[in-house]
Amino acid sequence: MEDYILYIIRHLIPELSEEKIKETIGYTSFPEEAVQCKIIFIPSGFFNKEIYGTGSSLPVTPLKMIEDIPLLYGKPFVERINGQLIIHADIIASSYFLLSRYEEYVKREVRDIHGRFPGNQSLPYKENFIHRPIVEEYGNLLKRWLKEVGIELPRTPENFHKIYFTHDVDVPFLYRRTRSLVKSLFSPGKRKTAFHAFFGKVTDDPAFTFPWLFKRNKGLSVSIPGILCETILFLKAGGKKEEDKPFYKLWSKDIQYLLSICKEENITIGLHASYDAGLHPSFINEEKRKLEEAAKVKININRYHYLCSREPEDLLYLILAGIKEDFTMGYADVAGFRLGTCRPVYWINPADRKVHPLLLHPMPIMECTLLSPDYMQMNYNQSLDYCKTLINQVQKFNGNLVLLWHNNNVATDCLRNRQYRELYKDVLKYIRETQKADSTFC
């Protein structure tokens, strides 16, 4: 059994050891050669060298269904022969397609103005299952098949395994630079706030909402003691493109003050690889070094600015830079499960099918994806309801919930930001309610 096949099965059923998987599950077109296995998956042909990597390898739509689960490859057909289950539903290839970002690898020509693969062009979106982590559903299906052949696995707890509160520091403050102060002179409604922020403390700046965010995150963590929670702040350390503005200096008094708060509050610091580094991945190593020097901590996690993880192979540069975990795996334009899973997964490079030591964290919810007129264009109630749907899915499958809220988007300087702020409070409140905890921190 190929390493990547074994890894996918391990992701589907982590409760079963590699040795037990090899004894129990086969992936072959010749069941007679694996008589010791109780379950045989018949390959769909997806991995055949003459097909793999070509347009003809993409799933045929509309998709077939197996027990109400979309099936990307194979046939929704199971045979029972001589005590074996012969399964023609190729949930292994189907899982690989999602976990490896295979679609993005094959459809190189499909990119938005930032070079990203658009969520609204993805198979999960077009086939209406972007809101479902169907790799987890495949796992449950496999557990039921194993039970049929006498192997019963422990039931997965229906609760969060871990919750990550993540915040990208694109705009740490609005009026702490002379240029922004001068610009405010032409906006009468902003002058007073700008002068107060510029001549006062950084905490007087509308965008410096970190204490507010950290208080809410900590409040939820305390109210659900049985769930691991972690707050991560992603800071930029480079970039020269227009999209990287505003540029801020990591050694400035204000950023150093923010870093001191993070140290006191036990906040994890991660690299927010610049838009520039997304275009030129070789820049990542230098940006990581700068952040480590300024923050005086070892940096081993990353999220790309603009979520610009463009080509799947670019992740090799993260590994070369010493990054161990990446939190970019969400679509900017569509909320949901970009990798088809709600649990972290080691990166499978679709170019060589190798499993690499870089842990990818699915990120199903980003605030601006929901309410922004550029993306899903939901109203407040629709946004909250959709968040609840995604949260329920993560909880159901004992996944890791990754939330992304930008500090400048929870300022109170405009209606949309006030909506983002209220949405964050309501999302945290809903998470707390799912735990039947009693708290008034929001």
Structure tokens at 102: 């295979």
Nearest residue to 280 via CA among 246, 321, 250, 252: 321
Helices (H), 207-269: 210-223, 253-265
Strands 325-329 and 354-362: parallel
Q: Is residue 180 within 8 Å of 417, Cβ to Cβ?
A: no
Report d(CA 407, CA 138) in Å as an integer.
37
Phi, psi of 39, deg, nearest 5: -125, 130
Give, in order, the Cα–Cα distances in Å from 233 to each of 248, 369, 388, 406: 15, 19, 24, 10
Q: Is residue 135 within 8 Å of 11, Cβ to Cβ?
A: yes
Q: Is residue 143 within 8 Å of 13, Cβ to Cβ?
A: yes
Q: Is residue 64 within 8 Å of 75, Cβ to Cβ?
A: yes
Q: Is residue 163 within 8 Å of 401, Cβ to Cβ?
A: yes
Neighbouring CB atoms inside 10 A of 33's CB total 11
Report d(CA 385, CA 383) in Å as an integer.
6
Count H helices and E strands in the chain, helices first: 16, 15
Give, in order, the Cα–Cα distances in Å from 437 to each of 99, 213, 312, 428, 441: 34, 20, 40, 12, 11
Give the N- to C-terminal CA distance of the chain in Å, as an integer: 51
Neighbouring CB atoms inside 10 A of 46's CB total 20
What pLDDT score does 436 carry? 65
Helices (H), 49-90: none
Q: What residues contact 287, with CB distance under 8 A and at least 6 apart?
A: 236, 237, 238, 239, 271, 273, 274, 277
pLDDT values of the chain reduced to their tens digit, one per residue, 442 residues = 899 999 999 999 999 999 999 999 999 999 888 888 999 999 999 999 999 999 999 999 999 999 999 999 999 999 999 889 999 999 999 999 999 999 999 999 999 999 999 999 999 999 999 999 999 999 999 999 999 999 999 988 999 999 999 999 999 998 777 777 677 676 766 777 777 778 889 999 999 999 999 999 999 999 999 999 999 999 999 999 999 999 999 999 999 999 999 999 999 999 999 999 999 999 999 999 999 999 999 999 999 999 999 999 999 999 999 999 999 999 999 999 999 999 999 999 999 999 999 999 999 999 999 999 899 999 999 999 999 999 999 999 999 999 999 999 999 888 889 999 999 999 999 999 998 644 444 4
Report d(CA 370, CA 383) in Å as an integer.
6
374: which DSSP letter? T
Report d(CA 169, CA 208) in Å as an integer.
10
Q: Which amino acid is at 198?
A: F
Structure tokens at 213: 């965010």
